[in-house]
Amino acid sequence: MGMVRTALFNWAFARNTGGTFVFRIEDTDSARDSEDSYEALLGALRWLGLTWDEGPEVGGPYGPYRQSQRLELYADVAKRLIDGGFAYPCYCSAQELEAQREAAKQHNRAPGYEGTCRELTTAQIDAFVAEGRLPVIRFRMPDRDHTWDDLVRGPITFGAEHVPDFVLVRANGEPLYTLVNPVDDASMRITHVLRGEDLLSSTPRQLALYEALAAIGVSDGTIPAFGHLPYVMGEGNKKLSKRDPESSLQMYRDNGFLPEALLNYLALLGWSMGDDQEFFSLDQMAQAFSLERVSANPARFDLKKCTAINGDWIRALPVEELTQRLLPLLQSDGLIGVPVSPEHRAVLAEAVPLIQERMDTLVQAPAMLGFLLVDQENFTVDQAEAAAVLGAAAAPALQSAFDALTAISQWTTEAIEGALRESLIEGLGLKPKLAFGPIRVAITGRRISPPLFESMEILGRDVSLERLRLALSFN
């Protein structure tokens, strides 16, 4: 979800300023990245509606946009950086690097690489090679502070002692984020980068690398403007982690959240529309978006509020559109067929408005609508509900309801409600909860359902009376 929030802010900034939103796939880690993860990324942005101007499937003047397809470029740049004196091979082992870290701790120095391999002689290199050591490639950080005007946080300075030489290429030849992103920014003419606060410490490294790329002719010297977005916090004042259940985009898709609602809520995590407006569309956000309204303070993810905004979006949808979004869920549960029959379409046209005000997520719909869609022979009453409500004490109410409904001439909501109120409340003297509770369970199979009288009109006289008759058999 944090990644989606970052993509959303970049998208909105590009749309607001008339810029170009670039979608780039960072898949140079062969141990982690796969074709499945690539397809999942594309599918996520498509589902959310965050269309990109350059990137996979769309193309653009600076492709390819998958970093795994640009490895020759990175290898060439790494060689040119070494040749230009901006980078060097480092043969330090993991044990030696750990010893450096421990020594820095003991002497209260800032941890980091100490430049051991900066000025190796040919003889030293030959000795390391003879040992079978494979080098990483490190960037030679200039000995000076780095300052930039962050788009979100204002002026920021990192002292030279806090930014040691860093690795560009692993010993196995795989390029790292620290190399590939600045190279791609330069070659793709990126002007603005909005990213998470966790990458703040990468910025001074990248600023130095941009200067080196200009010196070796890889870029024209343009350095992107950076804005670092606030953390999204989870439970216990901790940063929302990928391992937290509420962090998974797939969880929201599986649980019937609308993409519009998710983006609406994520926009509120660190940005404000102004005037206390919390319900808005993507287009409205793009029109209003400005970096001045992005806060530098951490934002807390509140699943209850996210769910409430999702409910607001469900209620704002036209009934026909909501119905279309519910069809896959109802079909997956076997409640309707493919294609949808005219009979089921007619039921949904009447029933969806009844549940629209009661839903917070789409996955609630099958349980709410199932009793209206199943054939009578497949209708069941939940056993726990039956035991709680349809006992011997309910028999008088069920029988009185059956008799009253059998006698009415017109099967309408008004006639059904009138008959039941007269027979159960006036006739038997029952309070509404005790009067209608058994009827609701008999008709819907549940104690919580869409409005009872309207549901009975949709079901029709014969089915409703049959279900009351079935409920009487529980006694």
What is the three-state SS of the chain? CHHHHHHHHHHHHHHHHCCCCECCECCCCCCCCCHHHHHHHHHHHHHHCCCCCEECCCECCCCCCEHHHCHHHHHHHHHHHHHCCCEEEECCCHHHHHHHHHHHHHCCCCCCCCCCCCCCCHHHHHHHHHCCCCCEEEECCCCCCEEEEECCCEEEEECHHHCCCEEEECCCCCECHHHHHHHHHHHCCCCEEEEEHHHHHHHHHHHHHHHHHHHCCCCCCCCCEEEEECCEECHHHCECCCCCHHHCHHHHHHCCCCHHHHHHHHHCCCECCCCCCCCCCHHHHHHHCCHHHECCCCEECCHHHHHHHHHHHHHHCCHHHHHHHHHHHHHHCCCCCCCCCHHHHHHHHHHHHHHHCCCCCHHHHHHHHHHHHCCHHHCCCCHHHHHHHCCHHHHHHHHHHHHHHHHCCCCCHHHHHHHHHHHHHHHCCCCHHHHHHHHHHHHHCCCCCCCHHHHHHHHCHHHHHHHHHHHHCCC
Instruction: Report which residue type is found at 133.
Output: R
- Whose CA is closest to 7, among 307, 269, 305? 269
Orientation of helix 259-267 relative to helix 35-48, angle to 10°: 80
- Whose CA is closest to 177, among 154, 202, 157, 160? 202
The distance of Cα 77 from the centroid of its chain, to the nearest Å, equals 35
The token duo for 85 is 């004196």
- Whose CA is closest to 363, among 440, 301, 310? 310
Cis peptide before 366 (omega within 30 of 0): no
- Whose CA is closest to 12, among 212, 294, 231, 253? 294
CB 316 within 8 A of CB 285: no
Widest distance between CA atoms in the chain: 106
Active-site residue list: 242
